[in-house]
Amino acid sequence: MSPWATMRIALKAINANKMRALLTMLGIIIGVASVITMVSIGQGVSKSVEDNISSLGTNLLTVSPSMLKTGGVRQTSTVHTLTVDDSKAIESECSFITYASPMVRRGMQVVYGNQNWSSTVYGVSQDYDEIRNWPVSEGEFFTEQDVKGSAKVCVIGNTIVENLFNGENPIDQVIRVQKVPFRVVGVLQTKGEGMGGDQDDVIMVPYTTALSRISRMKYIQSIVCSVSAEEYTEQAVDEVTTLLRQRHHLKDDAEDDFTIGSQADIKETMAQTMGMLTLFLSAIAFISLLVGGIGIMNIMLVSVTERIREIGIRMALGARGSDVLKQFLFESMTLSIMGGIIGILIGMGLALTISHFVPDLKTVISVEAIIISFLFSAGVGIFFGFYPAWQASKLDPIDALRHE
């Protein structure tokens, strides 16, 4: 028998039992659709996390004080070891650092006229907008002179504008933070939701003003730095570590009294976490494919049993065992491939539907997942269809003809 004749006979056999063929494909359809949907959701979440991390700034490093240790156990409170001079030294002496800004922050009540709002006040340097890659949409960021003079000026996020000013232009208006008046000199571009919540619910003031008029602290809570290029992150961390250990007079065997976090660390951790989650969800979906394959094997065994006399007639007319093997194997492959194609279409549709009804979850349809699912479904047809096909090819023509 020619390959075309084998294919034609197999397709006729499938067409003769449409409902059974559809039910046989159901396991493959569910499995492939689940894989496509799960991977799309996983990659969409990963992309969303990457965007949130990128929105924090360009090649960001954050230096924070270490936690206190009591009896070898780290406590929740921190050691106050970082100073403004540390920040200035990092910016001037570390070759891989472009900018460095001290930071103090505190949640406070903000008042304008008869409106009030609870927000977070950040005390930062004049370079913070460059570090965070966060330009202003109106007005301007405060200047170096404002920082040196502890000026009572501020730059606010869009959430503050919406909740305090009711459509009024905020530039040059005066808001009160803990009864201290601040003149608004700029409005930051909208960033939206981030890993820490609403990124636009912020008020930025010169760190000198924050230290003297708001927090009244002698120490800073962290130092935020920007690395000259992402590939130099490791070298920058080494430079900052060496400099701060020298400045803090730490002995060689002493632990650092500070910690340094980078975007690269966050990205790597999140990528590993999301990768494991996607793998776990995909593994569950692939189980459906295996169950579908078992269903194909079961139906093909039933089909062989029902068509023993037909097989005997074909062998008596000259068909070889290999022809019968190819016929049943092609039937099995056709069922699994058709199920795979339908499953891919359903999976893509589900991914797009989820993205439409849940705007915050942008699914990403993976071409690799589509190809792997299709190949896997074809492989399932071959693997689980081979045994029934082999059984059919080994039938004795005479016994098959006598079968009732």
Task: Between 14 and 75, name the one with better pLDDT.
Answer: 14
What is the structure's pLDDT at 5?
Answer: 64
**Alpha-carbon span 124 to 82, nearest angstrom:** 14
Q: Given this model, what pLDDT does residue 174 score?
A: 94
Encoded tokens for 2 = 């020619």
pLDDT digits (tens, 9 = 90+) for 256-280: 888 998 776 666 676 677 777 777 7
- Tokens encoding 54: 């990128």
* Cα 22 from Cα 8, distance rounded (Å): 19
Report which of residues 403 and 253 the model is more confident about: 253
pLDDT grade for 403, boundaries at 50, 70 and 90: low
Banded pLDDT at 401 (limits 50, 70, 90):
low
pLDDT tens digits along 77-131: 456 788 999 999 999 999 999 999 999 999 989 999 888 999 999 999 999 998 8
Q: Is the pLDDT of residue 301 over 90?
A: no
Report residue 86 as tokens.
């540390």
**Once rounded to an integer, what is the mean pLDDT over residues 301-305?**
73
Between 51 and 218, the more confident residue is 218
User: The whole model's pTM is what?
Assistant: 0.62
pLDDT band at 370 (very low <50, low <70, confident <90, very high): confident
Spatial neighbors of 214 by CB under 8 A, at least 6 apart, are 104, 106, 108, 121, 123, 177, 178, 180, 205
More confident residue, 2 or 260: 260
pLDDT tens for 145-202 read 999 999 999 999 999 999 999 889 999 999 999 889 999 999 999 987 765 678 899 9
Name the residue ranges covered by the structural domains of the chain: 3-52+268-402, 80-256
172: left (phi over 0), alpha (psi -120 to 50) or beta: left
pLDDT at 148 (0 to 100): 94
Is pLDDT larger for residue 254 or for residue 266?
Answer: 254
379-400 tens-digit pLDDT? 877 777 777 777 777 766 666 5
* HEC string for the chain: CCHHHHHHHHHHHHHHCHHHHHHHHHHHHHHHHHHHHHHHHHHHHHHHHHHHHHCCCCCEEEEEECEEEECCEEEEEECCCCCHHHHHHHHHHCCCEEEEEEEEEEEEEEEECCEEEEEEEEEECCCHHHHCCCCEEEECCCCHHHHHCCCCEEEECHHHHHHHCCCCCCCCCEEEECCEEEEEEEEECCCCEECCEECCCEEEEEHHHHHHHHCCCCCCCEEEEEECCHHHHHHHHHHHHHHHHHHCCCCCCCCCCEEEEEHHHHHHHHHHHHHHHHHHHHHHHHHHHHHHHHHHHHHHHHHHHHCHHHHHHHHHCCCCHHHHHHHHHHHHHHHHHHHHHHHHHHHHHHHHHHHHHCCCCCCCCCHHHHHHHHHHHHHHHHHHHHHHHHHHHCCCHHHHHHCC
pLDDT at 56 (0 to 100):
58
The pLDDT, as a whole number, for residue 121 is 94
Q: Residue 303's pLDDT is what?
A: 73
Q: What is the pLDDT of residue 140?
A: 94
Tens-digit pLDDT profile for residues 37-83 = 888 887 777 777 666 666 555 588 899 988 655 444 444 445 678 89
pLDDT digits (tens, 9 = 90+) for 315-341: 776 667 677 777 777 777 888 888 888
Low-confidence winner among 84-93, 137-146, 302-311, 393-402 (lowest mean pLDDT): 393-402
The confidence band for 286, taking pLDDT boundaries of 50, 70 and 90, is confident
Q: Are 87 and 106 in contact (CB under 8 A)?
A: no
pLDDT given at position 228: 86
